[in-house]
Amino acid sequence: MSAKNVSRRAFLRWAGLISGTAIMAACAPTPSASPTAAATAAAATEVPTANADATAAVQNAQATEDAIAAAAQQAADAQKVFSMTQDQFNAQMKQDEDAARAAGKTIVEMMSAFGTVIEDKTQPHYWIIKAFMEKNPNIFVKYTPSSAYTGAFDEAIMMRMASGDPPDCIYHYSSPIVYAANGTCMQLDDMMDADPVANKDAFEPAALAQVQWNGKTWGLVLNGSPDAMYYNTDVLQEAGLPTDRASMPKTWDQVKEWSAKVTKYDGDKVMMAGANPWSQNWTWPGQFAANGGGVWDGEKYSINHPKNIEVVEYWVKWLDDMYKGDIDKFNAQGNFSSAYPEAAFGMKLQAIINDGLWSVTHTPPEIKYEVAPMPTGPSGTPNGMPVATSNWPNLMFVPMGAKHPKEGFALSAYFATEGQYEWWDRWADYPVWKKFPTDRAPKDLVARVGQEKAMDISNFIRSQLPYVVVQWSSPVDNFATDEISRAVDQVMHKKASAKDVLDQAQQTVTAKLEETVNSK
């Protein structure tokens, strides 16, 4: 898979610690009921492996008469769309755009980090845009996917901006603060203050903080997935460990004890892995905070905080105690980095993993698992919170020079509010819009685990949002992530001490931050 189409987990990944590729699951389309439809019957008792069949079964059991009609219409639309090749789809979109121009409609371009609905049939963007255009008949949305460009998505964005032809809004899974710092992103405070639906009071404060910097708001957070622990309950049961969430480990020392009980080797071959907490660098700010440290507080970095150093040293000891002390040999045996079907957890080769909660709509239905809050420690606790977790958001922003900034904001606002019904039904990124119904579970998740468990997981995801740490809102966020990743890579490969490399990273990143801020 090319860099421009990697999954979110791969986006900030680096090869030194993580092997394998987490590929977005290509599930069949998920028909969606009306956002206002209430569930009126129990979910199907059996959970088919085929996601399309499972979702259809759930909807047949749950839908109201109006919802059935709406789902049938969308299913018909989906069948028409998914029968196309990519070239046919692109040609149809161009034909629709030409017709919209001829009709005098405003053409609003959305540039997206994701591909088209043909490239990933689970993605919700096509359906959200379709609904937005139905509500705004004088607007046509031109969707420009990342696959339209070669190279990294950020490079494509800068190329468009440098050409003097930026899109009207951009969907990204990295914060717009980097663009705000170099003057290429619009502040949205005035438009948000005037919007009756998508104003700043409408969103969870911890989520909104991810797009705020220097006293301004630079984007809209659509949703997010906190980091959490996944436990294979079948493996736990075989090891004589409890399987209910309340009994899950509360500290990393306890997780390590459980990992030791489930990790199995045959010689040098890993037969079953336990946890490997270092596997995804986007989760590190939350793990550092859970020990009383932290990376970024919204103004300054504390990369070399003593509690951060302790965590990295703890990871090395974990590697030695659990996986024979060699990161490369461990990584060579599988993808121990997510709960996706292609990863070890999804293949029943890993019993414990920490991953974003978006994975619940991708984890194979035959895997029996429980999710639980992130642990604290190894020696400290979060400041002012019982637990701490990282969160990977989906965001939209309006670039400077956009031809239709108000319309670009309107589309972004729709994505962040009403559009979340379609998103949530397909991908379990929890909406941060406060008015989103709390009694709604993703249809893809219901199809996999049943209505009762799906609601339990949905409520759990929502319960973790208040514990999200400050993250993503630095004007040098990508640079800092790279520096911290290189530093930890050296430690895990036993080429340097944690203190030495984190001290150096702190110095380098702080200098870059000062240079960036002072250049404005």
Which 3-state string (H, E, C) describes 461-514?
A: HHHHHHHECCCCCCCCHHHHHHHHHHHHHHHHCCCCCHHHHHHHHHHHHHHHHH
pLDDT band, residue 256 (cuts 50/70/90): very high
Assess contact for 469 and 384: CB atoms under 8 A: no
User: Per residue in 149-182, pLDDT tens?
Assistant: 877 898 999 999 999 999 999 999 888 999 999 8
Among 25-39, 333-347, 360-374, the least confident range: 25-39
Assess contact for 404 and 168: CB atoms under 8 A: yes
Average pLDDT of the chain, as a whole number:
87
pLDDT at position 341: 94
pLDDT at 48 over 80: no
pLDDT at position 60: 52
pLDDT band, residue 184 (cuts 50/70/90): very high
pLDDT-above-90 percentage for the chain? 74
pLDDT band, residue 16 (cuts 50/70/90): very low
Half-sphere exposure of 507 (CA within 13 A, CB side): 6
pLDDT at position 122: 75
pLDDT band, residue 345 (cuts 50/70/90): very high
User: Per residue in 440-459, pLDDT tens?
Assistant: 999 989 999 999 999 999 99
Region of 340 (left: φ > 0; alpha: ψ -120 to 50; beta: rest) is beta
pLDDT band, residue 428 (cuts 50/70/90): confident
pLDDT band, residue 343 (cuts 50/70/90): very high
DSSP 148-189: GSSS-HHHHHHHHHHTT---SEEEESS-THHHHHTT-B---H
User: Per residue in 196-239, pLDDT tens?
Assistant: 999 999 999 989 999 999 999 999 999 999 999 999 999 999 99
pLDDT at 138 over 50: yes
pLDDT at position 514: 96
pLDDT at position 421: 95
pLDDT at position 120: 79
pLDDT at position 64: 56
pLDDT at position 384: 86
pLDDT band, residue 4 (cuts 50/70/90): very low
Q: Helix/strand/coil (H, E, C) string of 223-286? A: EEEEEEEEEEHHHHHHCCCCCCHHHCCCEHHHHHHHHHHHCEEECCEEEEECCCCCCCHHHHHH
pLDDT at position 473: 93
Please state the pTM of the whole predicted model. 0.84
pLDDT at position 193: 97
User: Per residue in 257-306, pLDDT tens?
Assistant: 999 999 999 999 999 999 999 999 999 999 999 999 999 999 999 999 99
pLDDT at position 47: 36
pLDDT at position 7: 40
User: Per residue in 309-330, pLDDT tens?
Assistant: 999 999 999 999 999 999 999 9
Among 2-11, 107-116, 288-297, the least confident range: 2-11
- What is the pLDDT averaged over residues 116-138? 90
Those residues with Cβ within 8 angstroms of residue 100's Cβ, 6 or more apart along the chain or in another chain: 107, 140
pLDDT-above-70 percentage for the chain? 85
Greater confidence, 22 or 228?
A: 228
Question: Pseudo-torsion of CA 397, 401, 405, 409, nearest 10°?
Answer: 0
